[in-house]
Structures are given as C-alpha cells and as structure tokens.
Chain A
C-alpha cells in the first residue's frame, strides 16, 4: 500500500494509454462523427436549397402562365381589332368601287344622252332643211342659213 516505483510505472502506463486511446479510439471516432455531422448538415442544407428552388420554380411557372394568359388576351384583342379593320376596309373599298361604277355609268349615260341629243339635233336640222325645201319648193342652201338653223337646233 506504499508509494513505490509502481507509481512511476503506472504514470508511464497512463500516458501511454492516453496516447493509445487518442490514436485508436478518440481520433478516428471523433473525425468520423465530425464527418457525419458535416454530411447531415450538407443533406439538410441541400434539402433546404431544393425546397427553395422548388418554390422559385413554382413562382416562375405561375409567372409564365400569367404572361401567357396576358399575351393570349392581347393577341385576341389584336385579332379582333384587325378583323374589324379588315371588315371596315372591305366595306369602304366596296362602297368606293360601287360609287366609282355608278359614277362611270352616269357619265356614260350623260355622254349617250349628249350624243343622242347631237344626233337628234343634226337630224332635226336636216329635217328642218328638208321640210323648208319642201315648203319653199326650192333648194335651201344650208350654208346660207346655217346661223338660223343652228339657232333652231339650239332651241330644241
């Protein structure tokens, strides 16, 4: 029970034990546990990141759908207005064409009337001259009475 050299032997043994425990038990296990801690932390942060990314993707999807809807509405409105425009254009051009045709026809009618009038007046003048020759019994020089005939024709 006395303190002997055993004390020093046990001290050496103790120091050796600390070294061995550190070398074979503490160091490998604690580094492994640290690695595990790291792995768990990484996994958790990865899942957190995944969640965040999912949220972002969802938001983006919603945004895209919204934009698509807006675009569709816009396109629809555009198409509507364009169709109205086309319709108007067609109507206008049809109207214009119709007016043009009518105007042409009227002009033609006018011209025909004029020509008929001229023809008529020519014939009337001939008729008048002929009539007058018959009445007078002699030839009337149309050239001499040209002025009076023209006056007559103009009065028809």
Chain B
C-alpha cells in the first residue's frame, strides 16, 4: 500500500495501478510480461512437480504426493470418460488436466495479498505487476481460442468438412430455415469460446477487485479511533472473501475444464449420433 501512498493516494489511482500490467510494446504489440512470466513460472512448477512424481513412481502402494496426483488424474480421467465414452482421444485428458491444474494455480495467485508482490517489486524498482494471469483477458482468451480451434479441427475431422458445413446449414431448425440456421449455429459456436474465456476472466477479475476494495477500507488511514473499527472489519472481510475465493478459483478451473471437455466431446459426435 505504501507504493501507492507515495504517489499521493487516490482510490481510483490505486485500483488502476493494480490493474495495470507490466508490459513492453505499444498497442497490439504490447507484451504483458507479468502475465507471461507468472504463467510460465506456474507452468514450470507443474512440470517440475510432474517430473518429480514421475521419476519415482510407486506401482504398488503409492503415498503422499503421488496419491494426490493420482487422485487428480483419475478425477480428470473420469470427467473425460463421462463425456467421451468409447470415442477415445489421447489429447483430451492431458489437455483437461493441464487446464485444471494450470488454471487453478494461476487463479490461486489471486489469494496472495493484493499488495504484497507489487510492493515487493516496487522496492526493486518495478512499477506495475499484475500477479494473477487469469485476470488478464489474453490468458483466458488464449486458452479459450485454442480450445475453439481444437473443436473446429475435430468437428471437421470427425464429421468431415461437408458434415461440418451441414451442421451450420441444417441445425437447429431443419432444412427450411437455412439462413436462420447459419446465423444461429455461428452464434452458438462463437459464443462458446467467448463465454469460456470471459467467464474465467470475469470471475477472477471481479474477485481481484473485491480484494482491492477490501484493501481500500483502511487505504490512506491515519492512526485514529476509526481505524479500530475499520481494521478488524478489513481482516474479517478479507478472510471471509479469501475462503470463499478458494471455492471460486477451484470452481472456475473445474468449469473451464469441464466445458472444454464438453465442447470437444460435442465436436466428436457424428451426424447420425445426434
């Protein structure tokens, strides 16, 4: 908080400061370095943990961390099998696992006190650092877009190009309302990635914002009697929102994963199975 107080205060400025990425480049060519660095760090954490677990696998009676990883793995596998059944696709389960774990970890950054990392980095001369990659639309939309591209790819692969076009022409209202069908299906298909990306972004962004607002309760406060009320209130609210937010980040990661599986599962359904 001291980082902001030095600039003279102002709640709007405080919030805006927290919502600004550390970036290089201009306009479209802006690279949000904080988003990329944090997501890559978390990604390498996953890979590192995976390698550690994978190096000494215990087939007989697993224990500790391997148990936990196996539990997550089986959970994801169950979700995929529920949706895909016999139409097996070796890509889906690793994709779903990546989403669940990676998104959860990126969301988890939301639980780090909002001022901790920006303040620490301010001390070494960095002005902006947004620590939660999923509050960056680029991250969520990148994943949603990739999932969208995969659905298009599998739609064409499974249904054939003709089958995919047919889906646009004759779905959902049959062959007499072809123009309406095209519009409807296009909206339906485009809404999938957009809602997928925006849902995660929106939830995380809003969660971060609530943390900022709670932090603002004692923003710029001087030592006074009023602080005796505001400070405990801030602590209580922060803890409450933190606990609630553990649920939110898990739920959002889960929803992103399930929707990815469902969308890709729909892409694998052929015309005659409708």
Contact = CB atoms under 8 A, between A and B. Distances in A.
B43 interface: yes
Interface in A10-37: 10-11, 13-18, 20-22, 24-30, 32-33, 35-36
A3 to B, nearest CB: 6
B69 A25 contact: yes
A2 interface: yes
B62 to A, nearest CB: 9
A6 B30 contact: yes
A139 B29 CA distance: 190
Contact of A7 (B59, B93, B138): B138
B142 A8 contact: yes
A13 B138 CA distance: 12
B97 interface: yes
A7 B43 contact: no
A2 B31 CA distance: 11
A65 B28 CA distance: 92
B-side binding surface: helix, strand, loop or mixed?
helix
A6 B57 contact: no
Contacts of A26: 73, 93-94, 97
Contact of A10 (B27, B70, B91, B142): B142
A36 B57 CA distance: 11
B93 A30 contact: yes
B263 interface: no
A-side binding surface: helix, strand, loop or mixed?
helix
B43 A13 contact: yes
Contacts of A15: 146
A4 interface: yes
Interface residues of B, number: 47
A29 B101 CA distance: 15
Contact of B31 (A5, A16, A17): A5
B196 interface: no
With most chain A CB atoms within 10 A of its CB, the pick from B95, B98, B136 is B98
A15 B47 CA distance: 13
B248 interface: no
Contacts of B27: 4
Nearest to A24: B50
Given A6-B30, A10-B142, A21 B25 contact: no
Interface of A: 1-11, 13-18, 20-22, 24-30, 32-33, 35-36, 39
**A-B interface, 6 closest residue pairs, ranked by CB to CB distance from nearest:** A25-B50, A10-B142, A22-B94, A6-B138, A28-B54, A24-B50
9 contacts: A4-B138, A6-B139, A10-B133, A10-B142, A25-B73, A26-B97, A29-B73, A32-B57, A33-B74
